Chain A
Amino acid sequence: MTASLALPGVLEGRGPDLADHLATFGPLPPADALDLATRAELTGRGGAGFPTAVKLRSVLAAARATRRPPVVVANAAEGEPAAAKDGALLATAPHLVLDGLFLVAGTLGADTLVLAAPGRLHRAVEPALAARRRDDVRLHASPDRFLAGEESALVAAIDGGEPLPMAKFPPIRERGVEGRPTLVANIETLARLALLARGRADAGDHTLVTRRAEVAGAALVDVADVALGARLGEVLRIDRGVPAVLVGGYHGTWLPAAVARDVRLDRESLADVGATLGAGVLAALPAGRCGLRETARVMSYLAAESAGQCGPCLNGLPRIAGALELLARPGRFDGRLLKDVTRWCGLVAGRGACRHPDGSVRLVASALQVFRDEIRGHAAGRCVARDRRPFLPVPGSAR
């Protein structure tokens, strides 16, 4: 679906061999990361889409103000189970990520670099790290928790504590790893900086997405490098029977198939339909699956992944998940359940140290809206699902 590019894109790497990397992409010219990010108006690829130049500038300012050398963390933690783009990037082009990391470190004057990735990806990265022969890069094993990639949780884990989000004051850019100003950047953002340094001006206009669909009963999962602004229907295969598409990830939103086919993959167009690109997950719910069942499974996972530090999240998410499980089964359920879920969603958002409850509630709200007819059907004892097999990946769940 993506046209083959004349020059290599982010995924065109051939693995951890340094010679292959230099043959594919060419040498890394010296460049100022801040200058590159500003000119390309690069936004972060970790899910929040924050302007990278602003982030770089603020860490630089904090470093000058505190007179301490900053720390740069390359975030490949990828806690989102449905996303596979960071893993794919580390496997195909780890040197591109390292190029970006060293570029940013040079601009910020950082003397400590950390590459945070789950243990299962270390095998792909260790040879690449060894080949670069730098003694200031540390490989950190991030756990397979949903919140492991959250900025403050990651910093806490790197400092030896539990991978749980912390209060955002003072911000991580001022006080992060070892109390020093810290830049946490997604590895895709760093890889794109490395491409921009080599003169690939369109590197900032593309983004990696994880596509999930089912074709002839078989699951299809791949990672693609797509242009921002492309039509979703051209990027993801949305067959006729597909009821809805999940955009963003488990903190994203469901879109009805008709809306999904025509929406463009850029911030404004997605915002118009109430969605964001997030972690770049595009999942087309196969025909014959019940979206409520899928959302209920995901929500149980999200509730169990709560850090357990904030009362509203710890109490609210399990209730919403439990109520969704009841709504997902055809049969009689209490008429107040729907009202209760809506009320709980309102009580939980904006009341935590991190955005986990907010994102989870966004998914639930979109599911309740997009699958309205299914809810009515379930209340009457009918379910459209012919297929009970799970579609969205949920770790540790067999249901």
Chain B
Amino acid sequence: MTPIAVWYLNRATGIVVLVLMTLTVVLGAVVRRQVRLPGLPRFGSVALHRNVSLIAALLLLTHIVTAVIDSYVSIGWLAVLVPFASGWKPLAVGLGTLAVDLLILIIVTSLLRLRIPERVWRGVHWTSYLLWPLAFLHGLTAGTDMTSGWVLGLALVCAGAVAVSAAVAWTGRTRAGGRAPAAVAATRSALSRGSRVAVFRNR
């Protein structure tokens, strides 16, 4: 593979990984709020979230490998896991390294979910909202494409999608105490009108 092809592959996978990670975060909010995607049962949303994240991880691997073997910049193998150890743009690459470390932690805890305490899994999983901005900043500072053209437009759309997902995921849960009175009021009005009674979520 010619050197320039390595660089192009690195850029391309970087952009695609950005899109896929954004999609993962959005699907994560979908799973949390138990929203049904059209044509898909709810466990389908969970499976989609999982599979998209794993595809993103695979492409990320390609992104990392091409970055290291690219002879034009000196990013050693150590910099893959240790932040700020890169020879070239240590800060910018380091942000990406931090994101990778978080991602490895998230994936490993998810694979071992049944063996670890639920709180641990949940706490680590929420760091995905830290992971995404780190990766985004990495793209801005280490990458060459995100500051102009259609890539900038794409990046802004992705950022907006993640912001909306964060708001939806963090604020979505109704407090346990408020669900029952709301359900009583809604059911009473539906029954007296003769219309269908809604189904109330217990989460």
Q: List the interface of chain A (C-beta within 8 A of B).
A: 162, 164, 300, 303-311, 314-315, 317-319, 321-323, 325-326, 334
Contact B179 A322 (CB under 8 A): no
Contact check, A309 vs B192: say whether CB atoms are below 8 A apart: no
Interchain CA distance A8-B197 in the complex, whole Å: 55
- B176 to A318, Cβ gap below 8 A? no
Say yes or no: A310 contacts B202, CB within 8 Å: yes
CA distance A319 to B188 in the complex (A): 8
Q: Are B176 and A162 in contact (CB under 8 A)?
A: yes
Chain A residues near B177 (CB-CB < 8 A): 162, 164, 308
B187 on the A face (CB < 8 A):
yes
Smallest beta-carbon distance A324→chain B, Å: 10
Size category of the B interface is: 10 to 19
Check if A322 sits within 8 Å of B176, measured CB to CB.
no
Secondary structure type dominating chain A contacts: helix
**B-side contacts of A325, CB under 8 Å:** 188, 191-192
Cα–Cα, bound, A309→B200 (Å): 11
Given known contacts A308-B202, A309-B202, A319-B197, A314 and B179 CB-to-CB distance under 8 angstroms: yes
Besides A315-B200, A318-B183, 6 more A-B contacts (Cβ < 8 Å) are A162-B177, A300-B184, A304-B180, A307-B180, A308-B183, A310-B202
Once A307-B176, A326-B192 are accepted as A-B contacts, the answer to whether A318 and B187 lie under 8 Å apart by CB is yes
Q: Is the CB of B191 within 8 A of A326?
A: yes
A314 touches B188 (CB 8 A): no
A315 to chain B: which residues have CB within 8 Å? 183, 199-200
A310 and B180 CA atoms in complex are apart in Å by 10
> Can you offer 6 A-B residue contacts whose CB atoms are under 8 A?
A306-B179, A311-B200, A314-B179, A318-B186, A318-B200, A319-B197
Assess whether A308 is in contact with B176, with CB atoms less than 8 Å apart: yes
B200 contacts A322, CB within 8 Å?
A: no
Nearest 8 pairs between A and B by C-beta? A308-B179, A318-B187, A322-B191, A306-B180, A304-B181, A318-B184, A308-B180, A318-B183
A321 and B176 contacting across the interface, CB-CB below 8 Å: no
A314–B191 CB distance below 8 A: no
A-facing residues in B165-187 (Cβ within 8 Å): 176-181, 183-184, 186-187
For A164, give the chain B residue with the smallest CB separation.
B176
Within the complex, the shortest CB–CB distance from B190 to chain A, in Å, comes to 8
CA of A319 to CA of B196 in the docked complex: distance in angstroms? 11
Contacts of B180 in A (CB 8 A): 303-308, 314, 317-318
Residue of A nearest to B197 (CB): A319
Pair B191/A323 contact, Cβ less than 8 Å: yes
Chain B residues in 8 Å Cβ range of A317: 180, 184
Q: How many angstroms from the CA of A317 to the CA of B134 in the assembled complex?
A: 47
Q: Which residues of A contact B197 (CB under 8 A)?
A: 318-319, 322
Greatest chain B CB density within 10 A among A164, A304, A310 is at A304
Alpha-carbon gap, A322 to B177, bound state (A): 20
Give the residue of A300, A304, A311, A322 whose beta carbon is less than 8 angstroms from that of B192.
A322
Complex interface: chain A residues within 8 A of B187 (CB): 303, 318-319, 321-322
A377 to B176 Cα, complex, angstroms: 39
CB contact between B188 and one of A162, A164, A306, A321 (< 8 Å): that residue: A321
B194 to chain A, nearest CB (A): 8
B107 → A minimal CB distance (Å):
29
A304: chain B residues within 8 A (beta carbon):
180-181, 184
* Given A300-B184, A308-B202, A311-B202, A319-B176 contact (CB < 8 Å): no
Partner pick for A318 among B188, B192, B202, CB 8 A cutoff? B188
Instruction: Return chain B residues, CB-CB under 8 Å to A322.
Output: 184, 187-188, 190-192, 197
Q: A319-B191, A319-B197 are in contact. Are A303 and B176 (CB under 8 A)?
A: no
Smallest CB gap from B179: residue in A: A308
Contact A303 B183 (CB under 8 A): yes
Find the A residue at minimum CB distance from B181.
A304
Contacts of A309 in B (CB 8 A): 176, 202
Within 8 A of A (CB), among B50-77: none
- C-alpha spacing A164/B179, complex, angstroms: 13
Bound CA span A318–B183, Å: 6
Instruction: Indicate whether A314 sits within 8 Å of B200 (C-beta atoms), given known contacts A305-B180, A306-B180, A307-B176.
Output: yes
A344 to B152, CA, bound (A): 55
A323 to B188 CA separation, bound complex (whole angstroms): 8
The chain B residue sitting closest to A329, CB to CB, is: B192
* Separation of A291 and B85 alpha carbons in the complex (Å): 78
Determine the chain A residues whose CB is within 8 A of the CB of B194 once the complex forms. 334
A340 (CB) vs chain B CBs: closest residue: B191
Q: How far is the CA of A319 from the CA of B178 in the complex (A)?
A: 17
- Cα-based distance from A303 to B192 in the complex (angstroms): 17
A315 to B, closest residue via Cβ: B200
CA distance A249 to B39 in the complex (A): 47
